[in-house]
């Protein structure tokens, strides 16, 4: 418990340092575009592949489980849509990104710490926390919602393909897809995603930035970063769902 409070305290101290105006905008813009690429663009293909296949599997399973002829077949489109938008895209994809992006943030900062590169920034009179972490947080918060929207789109294509293989017609699927569609669900998913992006980038940065020791410590920091941000995502998923949807 005291350890948790200790981490929390250090986390907020770090965040206070992170949130400060960049000293030099042209250097900052360069850092930011680099991070956009590392944090966002490099994950696009992973997100596409995952979403397509999960979408397909979701629709196949729904249609198999609904063999009762009384249930209308457009339900497959509807169920796939809601499960993709409400849970799979924002939460599952965020968990996967916690693994991919979180570990890379933590190990990058961790190795900069143990090779004294962070000290070297500090000694030049640079706020290292802000210089290194702020662009990552902004890149994640800005880019993750796009990844999630891509995931929803591709997931539905997957669901449609999966549906075809279980004899759901395109017309039925499309009808289900549009049936009683609540646009608010998309906003809800994006709000969640923004929270998750913030959690992943700052929590992983926290563990990387505070690495102590050598190469082994860097590995440990990146594992801790992934585990902690995943747990926090699940926790906040519960809290946010409760607050927003009920």
Partner 1 sequence: MIEIQNIEKHFGNNHVLKNVSFLFERGKTNLIIGESGSGKTTLIKVLIGLHKIDSGTVLFDGVDFNAIKTKKQRLLRQEIGMLFQGGALYDYMSVEENIMFPLNMFTKKTDVEKLERVNFCLKRVKLEGKNRLMPSELSGGMTKRVAIARAIVMQPKYLLCDEPNSGLDPKTAIIIDNLIQEITKEYNITTIVNTHDMNSVMEIGENITFINKGEIWWKGNKDELLNSNNKELNDFVFASELFKRLKKV
Q: How far is the CB of 134 from partner 1 (least distance, A)?
A: 15
Q: Binding of partner 1 at residue 26 (CB under 8 A)?
A: yes
Q: Candidates 10, 12, 24, 29: give the one binding partner 1 (CB under 8 A).
A: 24
Q: Binding of partner 1 at residue 217 (CB under 8 A)?
A: no
Q: Candidates 19, 41, 119, 234: give the one binding partner 1 (CB under 8 A).
A: 119
Q: How far is the CB of 112 from partner 1 (least distance, A)?
A: 8
Q: Candidates 122, 174, 186, 227: give the one binding partner 1 (CB under 8 A).
A: 122
Q: How far is the CB of 123 from partner 1 (least distance, A)?
A: 5
Crossing angle for the helix pair 128-165 and 103-114, to the nearest 10 degrees: 160
Give the contact letters, 123-162, x = binds to partner 1 (CB under 8 A), - = no.
Answer: xxxxx-----------------------------------
Q: Binding of partner 1 at residue 37 (CB under 8 A)?
A: no
Q: Which is nearer to partner 1, 80 or 128 (CB)?
A: 128
Q: Which of residues 99-118 bind partner 1 (CB under 8 A)?
A: 112, 115-117
Note the residues at the interface with partner 1 (CB under 8 A): 23-24, 26-27, 112, 115-117, 119-120, 122-127
């Amino acid at each position: 418990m005291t350890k948790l409070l200790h981490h929390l305290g250090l986390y907020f101290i770090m965040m206070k340092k992170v949130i400060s105006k960049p000293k030099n905008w042209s250097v900052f813009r360069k850092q930011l575009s680099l991070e956009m690429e590392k944090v966002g663009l490099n994950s696009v293909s992973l997100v596409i592949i995952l979403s397509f296949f999960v979408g397909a599997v979701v629709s196949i399973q729904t249609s198999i489980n609904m063999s009762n002829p009384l249930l209308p077949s457009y339900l497959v489109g509807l169920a796939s849509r809601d499960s993709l938008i409400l849970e799979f895209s924002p939460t599952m994809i965020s968990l996967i990104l916690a693994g991919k992006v979180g570990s890379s943030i933590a190990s990058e900062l961790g190795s900069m710490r143990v090779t004294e590169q962070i000290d070297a920034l500090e000694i030049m009179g640079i706020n290292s926390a802000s210089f290194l972490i702020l662009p990552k947080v902004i890149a994640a918060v800005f880019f993750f919602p796009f990844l999630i929207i891509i995931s929803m789109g591709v997931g539905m294509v997957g669901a449609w393909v999966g549906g075809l293989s279980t004899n759901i017609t395109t017309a039925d699927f499309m009808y289900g897809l549009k049936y009683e569609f609540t646009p608010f669900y998309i906003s809800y998913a994006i709000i969640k995603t923004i929270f998750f992006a913030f959690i992943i980038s700052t929590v992983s940065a926290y563990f990387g930035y505070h690495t102590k020791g050598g190469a082994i410590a860097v590995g440990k920091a990146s594992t801790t970063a992934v585990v902690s941000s995943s747990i926090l995502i699940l926790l906040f998923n519960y809290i946010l769902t409760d607050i927003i949807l009920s």
